[in-house]
C-alpha cells in the first residue's frame, strides 16, 4: 500500500497556477516552454522512445495502454509515411480535462505532439478535436501559427533537418469519433465506423492504411515532462506501472466538483471525495461512485473489495477494503473490478435514483451506437427501452433479468469496445443494486418523470 498524500501534484497543470498565465507563446516561453523540444531534437528518435518506455507512461484516453510500447510498434518503412493523431475528442461522459489544457496551455500540448512526432518519425500530424469545441479549435490554430512563426514547427524545426506539419481537424460530433479507428475513418472523410482489430491496429494499418500513433491529449502533454526530467525520474512519481499524475474530473454530489491533478495511486477515492472535493453536499451519505467515466463499472458503498497489499515485512497479503479506501490508479481499480478509464469520477449520494441514473446512461449509449454491429445497435436500444419503461412505472419483474441478459449478449460480441462500454454499466448497476431494480419493477405507482 503506498503512503497516501493529501496535496495535489500539479505537473501538467502547473502553468495554470502562474498568476496572469495566458495561452500565448510568449507566456509559455517565459515558463520554460519548448525547452524539452530543444533537448529532444538533440537526441535520437529511438532514445526518446526508450525514455518514454522507461517512464512507464500509460495512455490517459481510457484503456491505459503503455505509450512507449505503442510507439515501439512503429517500424520505419520507407514506402509508407508515419502519422500521429492527437485524440482531443473528449466525449466520455464526465470527462472535462483535455479541454482545460487546450484552452489554457495549448503550447504544452503542441510541444508534446512535436516531440512525439519526432520520436516516431512522423512528418504529418492531426489534432482531432471534438466538433463542439469551436473555441478550443481556434485557440489551437492560433498556437500552431505562433509555433510555426518561431520555428518550433514547420520546415527545419529549430534549424534541424526535421520538418513537421500539424493540422487541427474538427470532429464529427459523435462519441464514437473518440474510438481511435472510428476517429481515423472520420479523419479520412467517412462515417466513423470503427474498424476490426486485428488487422486494423492503428500502429500497423492506421490513417490511409499507414502506421499511425493515436494518443490522448493528456498522454501527449506528459512527454515534455518526461524529456525534461528523464524517464527514470518520471517513473518515481506514482507507483510502479502506474506512474506520473492523473487529472481526475470529479462531478456529481460533491461540494467542490472540478478537475484535480493527483499523483497516481497516492490518493484513495475517499480522499479525493473528502479532502479534494470538500465531501458530499449537504452532509449526505455516499451511495455509489463511477470511477472512470460512464463506461466504468459502478462501485457501491458497503461493498468489500479484495486487494493485494504489501505488508510491513514485504510479503503480499489480501485485504478487504471499502470503496473509499481504494487507491486511485490503473491497476488497483482493475483489481477492484472496474477501471480508472478517462479519469472521470462521478459521485452519487444517497438521494440518487439508481434506476434513473442507469436510464440516463442507457439513453446516451443507445443514441451513440454507430449501428454497425447488431448486438450493439439493437441491444443498446433494448436496454434503453427497458429502463425507460421501468422509470415510467411499467417495469415487469422479468425486466431485471432481461436487462442483464441483453448486456451479457453485447459485451465481447462487437467490433469495438463500445459494446463493453455500454454493457458494463448495466451489468454492474443491476448486480450491485438489484433490490432497487426489483422494487422499481414491482411498484406500479412509480412516478412518471
Ligand X SMILES: Cc1cc2nc3c(=O)[nH]c(=O)nc-3n(C[C@H](O)[C@H](O)[C@H](O)COP(=O)(O)O)c2cc1C
Burial tier of 191 (Cβ tally within 10 Å: 0-12, 13-18, 19+): middle
Span from 2-10, 89-97, 303-311, 425-433 in contact with ligand X (CB under 6 A): 89-97
Number of Cα atoms under 13 Å in the Cβ half of residue 26 = 2
CA angle 262, 311, 289 (to 5 degrees): 40
Query: Shortest gap between Cβ of 32 and ligand SF4 (angstroms)?
Result: 42
Q: Which of 9, 60, 225, 239 binds ligand X (CB under 6 A)?
A: 60
DSSP state of 273: I
Binding site for ligand SF4 (CB under 6 A): 176, 194, 369-373, 376-377, 414-416, 418-419
**Contact mark string toward ligand X, 114..153, x via CB under 6 A:** ----------------------------------------
3-state secondary structure of 449: coil
> Count of residues binding ligand X (CB under 6 A)?
24
Grid coordinates given for 139 = 485557440
Which residues between 365 and 424 bind ligand X (CB under 6 A)? 416-418, 421
> Per CB under 6 A, does 347 bind ligand X?
no
Among 68, 93, 178, 206, binds ligand X (CB under 6 A): 178
Judged by beta carbon distances under 5 to 8 A according to partner kind, the member of ligand X, ligand SF4, none in contact with residue 55 is none
Give the nearest distance from C-beta 448 to ligand X in angstroms: 31
Sign, CA dihedral 240-244-245-246, equals negative
Q: Can you spell out the DSSP letters for 279-348?
A: SBGGGPPEEEEE-SSTTSPPEETT--EEEEEE-TTS-EEEEEE-GGG-B-SHHHHHHTTS--TTSEEEEE
How far apart are CB 416 and ligand X at their closest, in Å?
5
Stretch near ligand X under the rule CB under 6 A, chosen from 149-157, 174-182, 258-266, 402-410: 174-182
- For the bound state, the minimum distance from the C-beta of residue 213 to ligand X, rounded and expressed in Å, comes to 9
Q: Does 90 bind ligand X (CB under 6 A)?
A: yes
Q: For the segment 27-56, give every residue that binds ligand X (CB under 6 A).
A: none
HEC secondary structure over 219-249: HHHHHHHHHHHCHHHHCCCEECCEECEEEEE
Angle ∠(236,19,342) on CA atoms, nearest 5: 45
User: Which parts of this chain interact with ligand X (CB under 6 A)?
Assistant: 59-63, 65, 87, 89-92, 175-176, 178-180, 214-216, 219, 416-418, 421
Amino acid at each position: 500500500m503506498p503512503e497516501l498524500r493529501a496535496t495535489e501534484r500539479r505537473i501538467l497543470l502547473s502553468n495554470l497556477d502562474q498568476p496572469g498565465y495566458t495561452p500565448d507563446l510568449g507566456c509559455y516561453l517565459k515558463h520554460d516552454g519548448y525547452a524539452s523540444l530543444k533537448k529532444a531534437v538533440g537526441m535520437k528518435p529511438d532514445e526518446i522512445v526508450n525514455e518514454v518506455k522507461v517512464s512507464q507512461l500509460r495512455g490517459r484516453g481510457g484503456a491505459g495502454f503503455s505509450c512507449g510500447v505503442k510507439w515501439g510498434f512503429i517500424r520505419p518503412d520507407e514506402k509508407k509515411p508515419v502519422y500521429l493523431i492527437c485524440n482531443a475528442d473528449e466525449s466520455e461522459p464526465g470527462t472535462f480535462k483535455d479541454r482545460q489544457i487546450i484552452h489554457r496551455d495549448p503550447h504544452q500540448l503542441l510541444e508534446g505532439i512535436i516531440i512525439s512526432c519526432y520520436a516516431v518519425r512522423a512528418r504529418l500530424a492531426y489534432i482531432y478535436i471534438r466538433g463542439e469545441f469551436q473555441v478550443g479549435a481556434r485557440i489551437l490554430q492560433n498556437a500552431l501559427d505562433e509555433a510555426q512563426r518561431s520555428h518550433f514547427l514547420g520546415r527545419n524545426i529549430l534549424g534541424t533537418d526535421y520538418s513537421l506539419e500539424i493540422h487541427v481537424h474538427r470532429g464529427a460530433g459523435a462519441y464514437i469519433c473518440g474510438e481511435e479507428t472510428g476517429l481515423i475513418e472520420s479523419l479520412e472523410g467517412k462515417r466513423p465506423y470503427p474498424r476490426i482489430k486485428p488487422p486494423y491496429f492503428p500502429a500497423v494499418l492506421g490513417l490511409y492504411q499507414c502506421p499511425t500513433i493515436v494518443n490522448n491529449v493528456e498522454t501527449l502533454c506528459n512527454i515534455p515532462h518526461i524529456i525534461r526530467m528523464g524517464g527514470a525520474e518520471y517513473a518515481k512519481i506514482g507507483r510502479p506501472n502506474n506512474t506520473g499524475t492523473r487529472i481526475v474530473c470529479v462531478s456529481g454530489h460533491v461540494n467542490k466538483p472540478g478537475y484535480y491533478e493527483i499523483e497516481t495511486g497516492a490518493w484513495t477515492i475517499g480522499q479525493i471525495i473528502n479532502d479534494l472535493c470538500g465531501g458530499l453536499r449537504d452532509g449526505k451519505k455516499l451511495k455509489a461512485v463511477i470511477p472512470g467515466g460512464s463506461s466504468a463499472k459502478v462501485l457501491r458503498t458497503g461493498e468489500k473489495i479484495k486487494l493485494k497489499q504489501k505488508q510491513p515485512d514485504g510479503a503480499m497479503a489480501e485485504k478487504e477494503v471499502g470503496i473509499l479506501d481504494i487507491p486511485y490508479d490503473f491497476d488497483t481499480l482493475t483489481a477492484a473490478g472496474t477501471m480508472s478509464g478517462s479519469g472521470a469520477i462521478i459521485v452519487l449520494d444517497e438521494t440518487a435514483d439508481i434506476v434513473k441514473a442507469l436510464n440516463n446512461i442507457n439513453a446516451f449509449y443507445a443514441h451513440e451506437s454507430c449501428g454497425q454491429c447488431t448486438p450493439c445497435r439493437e441491444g443498446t436500444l433494448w436496454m434503453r427501452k427497458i429502463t425507460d419503461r421501468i422509470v415510467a412505472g411499467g417495469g415487469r419483474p422479468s425486466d431485471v433479468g432481461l436487462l442483464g441478459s441483453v448486456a451479457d449478449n453485447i459485451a465481447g460480441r462487437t467490433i469495438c469496445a463500445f459494446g463493453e462500454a455500454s454493457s458494463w454499466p448495466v451489468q454492474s448497476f443491476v448486480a450491485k443494486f438489484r433490490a432497487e431494480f426489483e422494487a422499481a419493477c414491482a411498484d406500479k405507482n412509480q412516478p412518471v418523470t
